[in-house]
């Protein structure tokens, strides 16, 4: 029976992209769950708990909890919170977790490239920008979704907002529809996928819907696009299914799924892979020619 490589090698394209300054790490919720952040179910549950009984009673909570889709639960919770007339949800309490000395972000933060994340938390704190004011490298407003932000090493762009401003957070179904139909988001993603080599981390089966939302919204049809890479865990028994999924992502999004085995360490296996790859990469700056081209694209867009 075919099985996954427990520790897959870093693709040559990622090595080259790190050296020429075009590598972007795209971080999903699967990474934050490794340090104790909740799943979508857990997120919805904690929001409903915070709203009860100040904004709704326990019977209403039970009815909302019976809805199988946590994003719909969050949409209803948002309506209830808005009807209450003031913010009642403390997102820092949900997503601001203490980190142990050895954790996945210790190794992610050693990557001296730029970052995009769909996470609301603030665990991405690149060592490259240590000592710099956070407002100069962390961006989360929709108006911050500019191609130029991707060209600076150490910049962190929160595609779905950040816990520092709950109004910036893309949470409900309505939020997603408005966000991805805006002018800024598709333009930002189009530049990202056409000019950068992107490595997705933390997009397991639960995050595939969001990942496909991101990939489809870039509208790359007919556009030149660099190859995308997605580190994806799977059980050895599901190898055949993974190969079909790999073919789908390759044909649909020009994205290569890099498989690793979940059999021994589950998703914690990512920590070893991210650490190993980071030790093999040498990070450089984007060339002045590329920076000028990016600025021209932004002005003409």
26 and 121 in a common domain: yes
b/e sequence 183-218, b meaning 16+ C-beta within 10 Å: eebbbbbbbbbebbbbbbbbbbeebeebbeebbebb
- In this predicted model, what pLDDT tens digit does every residue of 66-109 receive, in sequence order? 999 998 999 999 999 988 887 789 999 999 989 998 999 999 99
Q: Which of 197, 163, 23, 33 is nearest to 92 (CA)?
A: 163
User: Is position 130 within any domain?
Assistant: yes
151 and 49 in a common domain: no
User: Is position 5 within any domain?
Assistant: no
User: Containing domain of residue 288, as a range?
Assistant: 12-37+100-300
For the chain, the domain total comes to 2
For residue 286, pLDDT beyond 60: yes
289 and 223 in a common domain: yes
User: Is position 182 within any domain?
Assistant: yes
Task: Give the CATH number for residue 159.
Answer: 3.40.50
User: Is position 6 within any domain?
Assistant: no
The position carrying tokens 């709704």 is: 56
Express as a percent the part of the chain with pLDDT over 90. Answer: 71
Whole-number Å distance between alpha carbons of 119 and 30: 9
Residue after which a domain boundary falls, among 52, 69, 94: 94
- In this predicted model, what pLDDT tens digit does every residue of 132-173 receive, in sequence order? 999 999 999 999 999 999 999 999 999 999 999 999 999 988
């Amino acid at each position: 029976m075919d099985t996954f490589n427990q520790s897959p090698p870093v693709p040559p394209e990622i090595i080259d992209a790190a050296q020429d300054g075009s590598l972007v790490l795209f971080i999903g919720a699967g990474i934050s769950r490794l340090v104790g952040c909740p799943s979508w179910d857990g997120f919805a549950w904690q929001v409903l708990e915070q709203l009860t009984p100040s904004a709704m009673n326990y019977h209403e909570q039970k009815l909302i909890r019976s809805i199988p889709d946590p994003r719909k639960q969050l949409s209803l919770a948002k309506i209830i919170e808005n009807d209450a007339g003031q913010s009642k949800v403390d997102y820092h309490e949900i997503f601001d977790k203490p980190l142990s000395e050895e954790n996945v972000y210790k190794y992610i933060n050693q990557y001296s490239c730029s970052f995009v994340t769909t996470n609301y938390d603030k665990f991405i704190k690149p060592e490259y920008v240590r000592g710099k004011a956070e407002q100069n490298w962390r961006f989360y407003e929709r108006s911050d979704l500019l191609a130029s932000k991707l060209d600076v090493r150490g910049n962190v762009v929160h595609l779905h907002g950040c816990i520092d401003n709950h109004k910036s957070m893309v949470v409900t179904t309505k939020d997603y529809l408005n966000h991805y139909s805006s002018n800024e988001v598709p333009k930002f993603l189009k530049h990202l996928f056409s000019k950068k080599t992107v490595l997705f981390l933390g997009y397991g089966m639960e995050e595939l819907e969001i990942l496909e939302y991101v990939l489809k919204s870039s509208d790359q049809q007919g556009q030149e696009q660099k190859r995308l890479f997605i580190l994806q865990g799977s059980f050895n028994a599901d190898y055949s299914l993974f190969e079909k999924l790999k073919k789908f992502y390759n044909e649909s999004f020009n994205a290569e799924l890099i498989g690793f085995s979940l059999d021994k360490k589950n998703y914690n296996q990512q920590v070893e892979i991210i650490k190993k790859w980071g030790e093999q990469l040498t990070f450089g700056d984007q060339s002045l020619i590329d920076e000028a081209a990016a600025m021209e694209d932004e002005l003409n867009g």
